[in-house]
Amino acid sequence: MKNNNGAVIRRLTGRSLQSNKKRNFFIITAIALTTLLIASVFSIGMSLMESMKMQETRLMGTVAHAAITQPTASQMEQLNQLNYVKAAGTGNNVAFVKTTPQMGDMNLSLHYFDKTEWEKLRAPAFTDIAGSYPQKENEIMVPLWVLERLGIENPSIGMEIPLSYYTENGNNGALVNEVFNLSGWFTSYMYIRSGNIDSILVSEELSQEYGKTAEANGSASVLFDNSSRVLEYCEQLKLDLGLSETQKVKIVPAFDVDPGDMRTTLIALSTVIAFLIFTGYLLIYNVLYISVSRDVRFYGLLKTLGTTPKQIKRVVIGQIVRLCIIGIPIGAAVAFLLSFVAVPLFLSNLGSIATGTVVSFSPLIYLGAALFALFTALLGAFKPAKKAASISPIEAQKFTGIKINKSRVYSSVNGKPYKMAFRNIFRDRKRAAIVLLSLFLGITTFITITTLITSMDTDNYVASYLESDFMLQNNTVMVGYPEQKFTSAFMDTIKSLPGFESLRVTTLEWMRLDYSPDEFGEYVDDYIKRNNAEGLTEQNIYDNFTGIIAGIDREALTELNKTMDKPIDIDAFERGEFALIATNTPNLFENVDELTIFPMVCTSESGMQERPGSEPIKVPVGGFVPQSFGKICRSFAPNVFVSNTLMNAVYGEPIVLKLHIDVAQGYEEQALDTLKQITDEVYEVSRQSKLEAQEELRASKIMLYILGGGVALILALIGILNFVNVMSVGIVVRKQELATLECVGMSRKQVRRMLVSEGLGYAVITLFFVFTAGNAITFGIFKLFQQQATYAIFTYPFIPVLMASLAVLAICIITPENAYCSIYKSTIVERLREAE
Amino acid sequence: MPVLSTQGLKKHYGKEPHIVRALDGIDIAVEAGEFVAVVGMSGSGKSTLLHMLGGLDKPTDGKVIVDGQELAKMSDEQLTIFRRRNVGFVFQSYNLVPILSVYENIVLPIELDGNTIDRAFIDEIIDTLGLGEKRDNLPNMLSGGQRQRVAIARALATKPSILLADEPTGNLDTKTSQDVLGVLKMTSTKFHQTMMMITHNEQIAQLSDRVIHIEDGKIVREGRS
Amino acid sequence: MALAVTIIIAVAICFLTVLFSYRYVRKTFDSIDQVLDSVLAKNTDLPLEATADNRLSKLTHKAVKIIQMNTMDISQTRQEKEIIQSFISDMSHQMKTPLSGIAMYTDLLLEGRITEAERQEFLSRVKMGTEKLQWMMDSLVKMSRLEVGAIELSPVSTGIKQTISDSISTVYGAAAKKNISIQTAYFEDVSLLHDRKWTSEAITNILENAIKYSSANREINISLETLPIYTKISITDYGIGIAPDEWNSIFKRFYRGRNAKGVDGAGLGLYLASLIFHKQDGYILVDSKPGKYTTFSMFLQNCKK
């Protein structure tokens, strides 16, 4: 049975805390800063993940995992009873809206969702939902962006909106003109992905009026109970529901997240957290260690009186735990408040979130941060506690608070203050090492972060990923409803841009490759392995071996040729003598000498089909380009690149995917203005321009500067706190020694000079390491960074470094000065006596 | 049976040829209730002897037997617990815990062992030592003599069988010394404690039952008074 | 199914808890029993650890204490017996000298072949001897009663001034004989915890001693000083002094100082004085420089306000 002596240990713990207010301040600050930093890192990570996930669902316009086309009523009933189905709803198309010139380019339908579909599956993917789902026949609910196009800036419930619509597709059926009442609106994000395709929601009544049902015109959406087993469940569905030939199970395409990318992020995150823990640990450890060394008499006395080593450990650890109870909530609270500001800023500057960011306030963030901070604190307290516990009562009796390094014989100091100062710095080498390390880490981090940010050369960055001054892209293509947006008339407009210099065209069409296991076997195996698409029969593969064929200009290859070991014969390519396969693993295609290409066509109505009236062509394989070439998404068959000449020959008028436009220097702004006029209203066309990208990047660079600088500053602050603590404690402990020095005739001025030299010594040593090892580290990290961001150019941040150095010098001088002044208030005699 | 005894006790510091023989074969035996004064010049090894007897330090050779238990066989933890149950210390430099009040200092060893505080007994000690008014003060508010009386009270609080005093009046002026010493003697007699006191002052040694003279780590003279 | 498993687990946990609690309690009782057995057998060699930070160890430690207290009580009684025995032997030894003197002179007187002058001389010697015996008897009776606790001193809070002046008047005659003046420095009367009759006797003994070892025509100084706990009464004479190595011995029963050979005395006065002070929770210290001075400092507890 444990001894019942906890109360006195708790009291000793409490009193120790009370009598060490200054030290507590340092430790609480360290704990709070550590918590703050860790919580911030977690918060950014979690928010980023949540924002990405949310973006995914918002762009899909549904939270469902899969859809079943034309479900029957009995199938729905079955569906609702399957234990792996969390929710299932139906929806169907009711009519097609006739677009007016005012509405511009868009593709709207009237759509009906049942209750489950709307409430459980659709509404969560929308935001700013106002009003309610249409109940009456003449009620509608409209996406906000559509309302804007209709010229309605301030919608109100019940307002009248006239619409014309066809009851059947393809301008078939009757054209109906009707005035609807607005029952609600919402922000939808689907159109960003789909290229202005969206739906206006109508009531069940209207749907029934035109005899539209889910079975005939719609589909059922299904939400499974486990998002990681969607593929498996889809197969299961087919069996469980007994789907007919024509019914299909479509998986809602979710954006692929490269697991390798996740791993890098995870490693980066753990490194950052390990680093934060380490810096926090250094400070807490040092502050506690100094405090324990100062209190050697106290702990030795406790031991003499019968406090066991275990009890002493409990006293030290108990103190740190109590300080954690104060420090962690402070850090967490500041992190919480900060996350309102810093996290959205950070996320929006990461640039990948288009549908609005969410700030995560998951308790996991704060729990995690608290745990890590507690871990840091305990880690920092462990050794000092052990030291306190192992203090021998005899040593404590003799202890004067001054450790003298016996192993070294110094040369005479001749009473020179700076020589004594130097000796003082290394009197306790371990302590000196920790302070120097802490200061060094703080300042080096600061310099590294500043270097990385200043090195992000915007011009270079833009040039590295934008090949031309302007790039226009037809978004309908990638969504799967291709439409020729860049007509020859449009091209003419481009060519008449002010200062127009050159235009490059990328065309894109669909094709099926003639599959044979001998040729493509290796590739297909690899594909199946990567995509977990088991269970395909040879016939399946043959039928579905479709992909993208893209036409490019010679200029596109010129740039690429520079990086290739085996340059491509551009002239022959231009003549259409061979095709290029896009892959990162050319050896998978060792057996492919010639491609047999069946031209295909892809429409929104019937999907992919053989192109009517075209013959397959045979083209030899002339080489390989990287997978990411041309930034075109991939399908089952590998992407094939041919010259535009060949494309025109095979496909007649192939769809133009991208336009790369260059203008003469100095005309960029003018050209941009014109392009804005042409494209701003056209949602299916997206625009990238070097000018805009640079602007954007500059803004986000400033933000990164503030955020990164903030983190660096906090770390530097931890280092400086450590120094301030060591220096001021060191002087207070040496009170008596200093008084003795004065007694033997050292003038106050000399004492002061000695102390200031001591501080200066720390500064000089730290800066020496910062400018040698620190700069080497900075450069090394920059090199690593450059591998990720090739556009970075090493730029040394002279001004921030100068300022940081001056700040360190200033603090190293002011701290001893201050500490000395504070003990100077008493006379020599008093100080001598006080030492008892 | 002696309460406190040593057999061939040796404590050496350093190595040949710079060896320091702080204690060089000490044999003593102290009976229960006896008051022994150890007299010697500074550096004679008398403090080291006291440290050994209190289990604060480990001997190089020989045995220290207190209450029938051999201290050298105990671990650090055991020694600590042994101390708080059996030994009361009074040091030259008072060694009060600065963060605890007078009363808390006095009862600290009792609480460390989780025992119930015998309030009547503690009040009696506090009263005897004239500390009643200072009960709730912190040590830094007290004079040297008062601090030493607190230290004595603390040493008596657990009713230890052995009281070890290392120059208890070393930091006090003659008058206060006599005062404090009288208290120490009176209380230890009153509570039937065995006491060993180190001093270099012959006058102070008068109060003891026996005086042991130590020089260079050896007993040179021993006399009953 | 799940419920059944839960119940089974719960029952199992309860069972194990009860089992382990039972075993724990049984073990603890066994240990306590062992400790008590040792107490009964007065065996301090307990099988259990007395130096661990747990309750059983505390119990063991206290048991050892009880045994030790018991043995100490026994040895104390034995010691007291020894004191009385040594006292009796000391006493008989001390009485032998005056008794044999008396016997010798009485024999001489009875033989009758002596001159008148011799007869006067012998008679006065017999008288001196009987007086000495008388005085010794008185002292011994007092001592024996004090020492074995036959009479209890009853210290009460009374002014010390009267006590000191009582003593001075007792020795006044003796002092005047040697033309020694007793100087008392002025002091405020303080209430001290003491038994006036006995304390006065003790002070008288010290004063007599001082007069005895002082040369004629010197002074004896008395002063009083109040300290936080005690009040010190100092009596200084300027006589032969006492060497430091004797300081520890002079308060012993029948001890005669090396320098005191020529002086009359039984070695009882200082012993009695120190005994009286000890019985009142006070004490005596001596400080001296041979040939220069001797100071006896007597400490008595202040009264608590």
pLDDT digits 0-9 by tens, B24-76: 888 999 988 888 999 888 778 888 888 888 888 888 888 898 887 888 888 88
Residues contacting residue A725 through CB under 8 Å, at least 6 positions apart: A23, A26, A286, A287, A290
Whose tokens are 């609807």? That residue is A180
Closest CA to A466 of A679, A692, A147: A692
Q: What is the pLDDT of residues A305-362, one digit of tens each?
A: 888 888 899 999 999 999 999 999 999 999 888 888 777 777 766 555 556 667 778 8
CB contact under 8 A, C247 and B202: yes
Determine which of B42, B97, B106, B148 to mutate to test the interface with A (most A C-beta atoms within 10 Å): B97
Query: Quick check: is B24 in a domain?
Result: no
Q: Checking phi first, is residue C187 left (phi over 0); if not, alpha (psi -120 to 50) or beta?
A: beta
The residue type found at A753 is R
Determine which of C27, C53, C61 to mutate to test the interface with A (most A C-beta atoms within 10 Å): C53
Contacts of C52 in chain B (CB under 8 A): 77-78, 81
Taking the CA atoms of residue C12, residue C17, residue C18 and residue C21 in that order, the dihedral angle to the nearest 10 degrees is: 160
**Can you read off the two tokens belonging to residue A117?**
């579909």
pLDDT computed for residue B31 by the predictor: 86
pLDDT computed for residue A835 by the predictor: 43
Angstrom distance (rounded) from CA A236 to CA A251: 13
Query: Quick check: is B13 in a domain?
Result: no
Determine which of B74, B176, B206 to mutate to test the interface with C (most C C-beta atoms within 10 Å): B206
CB contact under 8 A, B69 and C50: yes
pLDDT computed for residue A355 by the predictor: 63
Query: Quick check: is B111 in a domain?
Result: yes
Residue C240: alpha-carbon gap to chain centroid = 26
Contacts of C51 in chain B (CB under 8 A): 69, 74, 78-79, 81-82, 85
Q: What is the pLDDT of residues A731-770, one digit of tens each?
A: 777 777 777 777 777 777 777 888 888 888 888 888 899 8
**Can you read off the two tokens belonging to residue B202?**
């012959």
Query: Quick check: is B179 in a domain?
Result: yes
What string of DSSP letters covers A14-45?
HHHHHT-HHHHHHHHHHHHHHHHHHHHHHHHH
Helices (H), A61-106: 73-81
Which CATH number does the domain C156-301 belong to among 3.20.20.140, 3.30.565.10, 3.40.50.720, 3.40.800.20? 3.30.565.10
Domain count within chain B: 1
CA angle (A303, A307, A310) in 5-degree steps: 105
CB contact under 8 A, B67 and C61: no
Query: Quick check: is B178 in a domain?
Result: yes
Alpha carbon separation from B191 to B125, B153, B159, B184, B185 (Å, rounded): 10, 12, 7, 11, 10
pLDDT computed for residue A256 by the predictor: 45
Q: Which domain holds residue B210?
A: 32-59+75-224
DSSP A773: I
For residue C281, give how far its alpha carbon lies from the nearest alpha carbon of chain B (Å): 6
Q: What is the pLDDT of residues B157-216, one digit of tens each?
A: 888 888 999 888 877 788 778 888 888 888 788 778 889 998 877 777 788 888 888 888
pLDDT computed for residue C15 by the predictor: 94
For residues A134 and A120, is the Cβ–Cβ distance under 8 A?
A: no
CB contact under 8 A, A1 and C58: no
pLDDT computed for residue A481 by the predictor: 64
pLDDT computed for residue C271 by the predictor: 85
What 3-state DSSP class applies to A595? Answer: strand
User: Beta partners for C266?
Assistant: none
Angstrom distance (rounded) from CA A486 to CA A220: 36
Contacts of B111 in chain A (CB under 8 A): 5, 7-8, 11
* Helical (H) or strand (E) element with A116: helix A115-116
Residue A791: alpha-carbon gap to chain centroid = 19
The residue type found at A721 is L
Is the per-residue pLDDT at A410 higher than 60?
no
Angstrom distance (rounded) from CA B163 to CA B90: 8
What pLDDT band is residue A569 in, cutting at 50, 70 and 90? confident
Kindly report the three-state secondary structure assignment for every residue of C117-184.
HHHHHHHHHHHHHHHHHHHHHHHHHHHHHHHCCCCCCCCEEEEHHHHHHHHHHHHHHHHHHCCCEEEE
For residues A41 and A268, is the Cβ–Cβ distance under 8 A?
A: no
* Helical (H) or strand (E) element with A403: none
pLDDT computed for residue A398 by the predictor: 67
User: Beta partners for A621?
Assistant: A579
pLDDT (tens place) for every residue of chain C, 305 residues total: 778 899 999 999 999 999 999 999 998 888 888 888 888 887 777 766 777 888 888 888 888 888 888 887 888 788 878 877 887 787 777 788 788 888 888 888 888 778 888 888 888 888 888 888 887 788 777 777 777 666 778 888 888 989 999 999 988 888 888 888 888 888 888 888 888 888 998 999 899 888 888 888 888 999 998 888 889 999 999 888 888 878 877 887 777 766 666 555 667 788 888 888 888 888 898 888 888 899 999 999 887 65
What pLDDT band is residue A263 in, cutting at 50, 70 and 90? low
What 3-state DSSP class applies to A604? Answer: coil
Is the per-residue pLDDT at A462 higher than 50?
yes
What string of DSSP letters covers B201-225?
-HHHHTTSSEEEEEETTEEEEEEE-
DSSP B139: G
What 3-state DSSP class applies to A608? Answer: strand
Contacts of C290 in chain B (CB under 8 A): none
Confirm or reject contact between B89 and chain A (CB < 8 A).
yes
Give me the mean pLDDT over the A229-234 stretch.
78
Whose tokens are 């406190």? That residue is B4
CB contact under 8 A, C53 and A1: no
- Closest partner CB to C55 (pick from A1, A308, A311): A1
CA angle (C176, C177, C180) in 5-degree steps: 50
CB contact under 8 A, B93 and A836: yes
Highest-confidence range of A147-156, A509-518, A770-779, C109-118, by mean pLDDT?
A770-779
pLDDT computed for residue C150 by the predictor: 66
Closest CA to C160 of C182, C187, C142: C187
Confirm or reject contact between B109 and chain A (CB < 8 A).
yes
Angstrom distance (rounded) from CA B84 to CA B97: 15
- What's chain A's average pLDDT? 80
Q: What is the pLDDT of residues A514-524, one digit of tens each?
A: 888 888 888 88
Residue B17, preceding peptide bond in cis (omega within 30° of 0): yes
Contacts of C48 in chain A (CB under 8 A): none
Confirm or reject contact between B11 and chain A (CB < 8 A).
no
What 3-state DSSP class applies to A361? Answer: coil
pLDDT computed for residue A348 by the predictor: 67
Share of chain A above pLDDT 90, in %: 3
Angstrom distance (rounded) from CA A615 to CA A514: 13
What 3-state DSSP class applies to A349? Answer: helix
User: Beta partners for B23?
Assistant: B11
Confirm or reject contact between A308 and chain C (CB < 8 A).
yes
- Which residues of chain B are at the C interface, by a Cβ-Cβ cutoff of 8 Å? 1, 32-33, 67-69, 74, 77-79, 81-82, 85, 113-115, 127, 129-130, 145-146, 149, 161, 175-176, 178-180, 182-183, 185-186, 189-190, 192, 202-203, 205-208, 211, 223, 225
Determine which of A1, A2, A8 to mutate to test the interface with B (most B C-beta atoms within 10 Å): A8
Contacts of B146 in chain C (CB under 8 A): 228
What string of DSSP letters covers C1-68?
-HHHHHHHHHHHHHHHHHHHHHHHHHHHHHHHHHHHHHHHTT----SS-SSSSBHHHHHHHHHHHHHH
Read off φ and ψ for residue A212, nearest 5 degrees.
-90, 135
pLDDT computed for residue A261 by the predictor: 57
Angstrom distance (rounded) from CA C220 to CA A288: 64
User: Beta partners for A198?
Assistant: A108
Query: Quick check: is B66 in a domain?
Result: no
Query: Quick check: is B192 in a domain?
Result: yes
**Can you read off the two tokens belonging to residue A430?**
């371990």
In chain C, CATH 3.30.565.10 sits at 156-301
Alpha carbon separation from A623 to A521, A584, A644 (Å, rounded): 19, 12, 17
Alpha carbon separation from C112 to C106, C108, C120 (Å, rounded): 10, 7, 12
What pLDDT band is residue A465 in, cutting at 50, 70 and 90? low
**Can you read off the two tokens belonging to residue A824?**
């100077």
pLDDT computed for residue C156 by the predictor: 86
Chains that contact C by 3+ CB pairs under 8 Å? A, B
CA angle (A767, A769, A775) in 5-degree steps: 95
CB contact under 8 A, C55 and A5: no
DSSP A2: B
Closest CA to A448 of A804, A731, A796: A796
Residues contacting residue A416 through CB under 8 Å, at least 6 positions apart: none
Is the per-residue pLDDT at A405 higher than 50?
no
Which residue of C lies nearest to A307 if distances are taken between CA atoms?
C53
- Closest partner CB to A394 (pick from B56, B89, B93): B56
Taking the CA atoms of residue B98, residue B99, residue B103 and residue B109 in that order, the dihedral angle to the nearest 10 degrees is: -80
Give the orientation angle of helix A21-60 with respect to helix A259-294, to 10 degrees.
170
Chains that contact A by 3+ CB pairs under 8 Å? B, C
The residue type found at A1 is M
**Can you read off the two tokens belonging to residue C131?**
């007086």
Confirm or reject contact between C55 and chain A (CB < 8 A).
yes
**Can you read off the two tokens belonging to residue A348?**
């929006």
- State the CATH number of the domain containing residue B172: 3.40.50.300
The residue type found at A364 is L
- Closest partner CB to B182 (pick from C50, C51, C229): C229
For residues A141 and A184, is the Cβ–Cβ distance under 8 A?
A: yes
Query: Quick check: is B181 in a domain?
Result: yes
How many Cβ atoms from other residues are within 10 Å of residue A175's Cβ? 12
For residues A658 and A472, is the Cβ–Cβ distance under 8 A?
A: yes
pLDDT computed for residue C73 by the predictor: 83
ipTM for the complex shown: 0.84
Is the per-residue pLDDT at A170 higher than 60?
no
What pLDDT band is residue A409 in, cutting at 50, 70 and 90? very low
